């Protein structure tokens, strides 16, 4: 008659207040971690595109450029 192995002792999860950020992230399921990571990447990508679009639509003012050039000349 085959014998079943003894049950493994299960570790007690730490209370939420005692967990660090990495421990909380590691406690998520792999599918949830993947979705969270893809969401962060999507927000970063949107931010890059919006930033580039705003730079094209709102170029720096001439006065700001002239001030920067004047400061460079004064330093030299």
pLDDT band for position 1 (50/70/90)? low
Q: Is residue 57 part of a domain?
A: yes
Q: What is the per-residue burial (b if ≥16 Cβ within 10 Å, else e) of 22-35?
A: eeeeeeeeeeeeee
Q: Is residue 20 part of a domain?
A: no
- Looking at residue 38, its pLDDT comes to 98
- Looking at residue 58, its pLDDT comes to 84
Q: Is residue 13 part of a domain?
A: no
- Looking at residue 74, its pLDDT comes to 76
Q: What is the pLDDT of residues 10-69, one digit of tens each?
A: 556 667 788 888 888 999 999 999 999 999 999 999 999 999 999 889 877 777 777 778
Q: Is residue 25 part of a domain?
A: no
Q: Is residue 22 part of a domain?
A: no
d(CA 68, CA 63): 9
Q: Is residue 19 part of a domain?
A: no
pTM across the whole model: 0.55
Give how many domains the chain has, as a whole number.
1
For residue 47, give its domain range. 41-76
């Amino acid at each position: 008659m085959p014998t079943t192995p003894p049950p493994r002792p299960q570790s007690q999860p730490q209370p939420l207040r005692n967990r660090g950020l990495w421990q909380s992230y590691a406690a998520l399921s792999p599918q949830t971690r993947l979705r969270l990571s893809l969401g962060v990447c999507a927000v970063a990508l949107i931010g890059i595109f919006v930033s580039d679009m705003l730079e094209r639509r709102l170029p720096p003012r001439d006065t700001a450029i002239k001030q920067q050039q004047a400061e460079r000349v004064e330093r030299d």
